[in-house]
């Protein structure tokens, strides 16, 4: 892997594949199942109205699993190291957009530098006021919201299918500035994230896919490297020159 061009504005987009080797299952786009549940049953606003007990239970299980010894892996850490290097040397800027709801990037590089566009499992919010609360315990439709004091008003701070992703203006700004766009561990099936490489390309960025295998849109990237994230991400990032 050689990348002798010097880049100053790097955008990294990550998906469930980067956390796979930390022990978190990916979303299986091929059969539409997430941890053996259909997304229609656990990841849509309609599912939450229909069966809030099931939806709370699904995210309680994901939260418990995350907090039960799951750690950032070499790929999360390599991105954190690169960010630190760029901040300290003032040689460039890295923007990390993640579709993941785990907090492994935040642990590896600090909360301020991560745009979790699909929400965060360690937060809940009030449906009425939008107020956010950190959350490390199980939740249920029986809980009272501390801001409005109403039962059933708390929901997981997760962007469900059919809802608008978070941080879109920051993301669009970063894509318009970037000269290198790297997609890691994402299947290219969930929009709008799957379209970000096209936007970056239109702004003149070099586009790179790092994934276990070619994604649905892999051939449209200028450069591709395939293998487990813990191997290919550190290797590729170490090959960059500043
Ligand atoms: P996806 O599950 O659809 O695709 C994962 C991609 O990662 C696949 O292309 C797969 O080939 C690749 N992959 C698997 N193991 C890998 C490894 N060891 N190294 C490198 N690549 C690997 O993921 P997506 O595109 O992020 O879309 C899934 C949606 O489900 C997202 O919106 C996300 O919010 C949600 N989700 C999040 C998590 C999490 O927070 N960790 C986990 C599952 C699903």
3-state secondary structure the chain: CCEEEECCEEEEEECHHHHHHHCCCCEECCCCEECCEEHHHHCCHHHHHHCHHHHHHHHHHHHHHHCCCCCCCHHHHHHHHHHHHHHHHCCCEEEEEECCCCCHHHHHHCHHHEEECCEEEEEEEECCCCCEEECCCCCCCCCECCCCCCECCEEEEECCCCCCCCCHHHHHHHHHHCCEEEEECCCCCCCCHHHHHHHHHHCCCEEEEEECCCCCCHHHCCEEEECCHHHHHHHHHHCEEC
Query: What confidence tier does 112 reach under pLDDT thresholds 50, 70, 90?
Result: confident
CA neighbor of 20 nearest in space, from 191, 156, 238, 186: 186
Q: What is the pTM of this model?
A: 0.95
> What SS3 state is found at 159?
coil
SS (H, E, C) 215-230: CCCHHHCCEEEECCHH
Query: What confidence tier does 27 reach under pLDDT thresholds 50, 70, 90?
Result: confident
pLDDT at 2 > cutoff 80: no
Asked if residue 229 has its Cβ within 6 Å of ligand 1, the reply is: yes
pLDDT at 167 > cutoff 60: yes
pLDDT > 70 in the chain, percent: 96
Question: Which residue's CA is the nearest one to ligand 1's atom 25?
Answer: 186
Whether the upstream peptide bond of residue 15 has omega within 30° of 0, thus cis, is no
Asked if residue 39 has its Cβ within 6 Å of ligand 1, the reply is: no
Q: Which atom of ligand 1 is nearest to the CA of 100?
A: 40
The alpha carbon of 94 and the centre of ligand 1 are apart by a number of angstroms equal to: 21
Q: Tokens 């299952």 — which residue?
A: 25
Express each pLDDT in 61-104 by its tens digit. Answer: 999 999 999 999 999 999 999 999 999 999 899 999 999 999 99
The alpha carbon of 211 and the centre of ligand 1 are apart by a number of angstroms equal to: 10
Q: Which atom of ligand 1 is nearest to the CA of 159?
A: 34
Residues identified as active-site: 118
Mean pLDDT of the chain: 94
Length of the chain: 242
The alpha carbon of 143 and the centre of ligand 1 are apart by a number of angstroms equal to: 31
């Amino acid at each position: 892997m050689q990348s002798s061009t010097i880049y100053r504005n790097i955008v990294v987009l990550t998906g469930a594949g980067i956390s796979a080797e930390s022990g978190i299952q990916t979303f299986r786009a091929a059969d539409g199942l997430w941890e053996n549940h259909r997304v229609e049953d656990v990841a849509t606003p309609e599912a939450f109205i229909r069966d809030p007990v099931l939806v709370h239970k699904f995210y309680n299980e994901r939260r418990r699993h995350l907090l039960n010894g799951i750690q950032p892996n070499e790929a999360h850490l390599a991105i954190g190291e690169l960010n630190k290097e760029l901040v300290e040397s003032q040689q460039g800027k890295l923007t990390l957009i993640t579709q993941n709801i785990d907090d492994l990037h935040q642990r590896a590089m600090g909360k301020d530098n991560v745009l979790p566009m699909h929400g965060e499992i360690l937060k809940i919010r009030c449906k009425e006021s939008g107020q956010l609360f950190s959350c490390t315990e199980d939740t249920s439709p029986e809980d009272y919201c501390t801001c409005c004091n109403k039962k059933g008003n708390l929901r997981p701070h997760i962007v469900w299918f059919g809802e608008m992703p978070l941080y879109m203006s920051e993301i669009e700004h970063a894509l318009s500035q970037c000269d290198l766009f790297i997609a890691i561990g994402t299947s290219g099936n969930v929009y709008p994230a799957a379209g970000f490489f096209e936007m970056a390309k239109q702004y003149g960025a070099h586009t790179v896919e790092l994934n276990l295998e070619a994604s649905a849109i892999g051939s449209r990237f200028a450069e591709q490297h395939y293998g487990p994230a813990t191997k290919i991400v550190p290797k590729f990032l170490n090959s960059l020159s500043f």
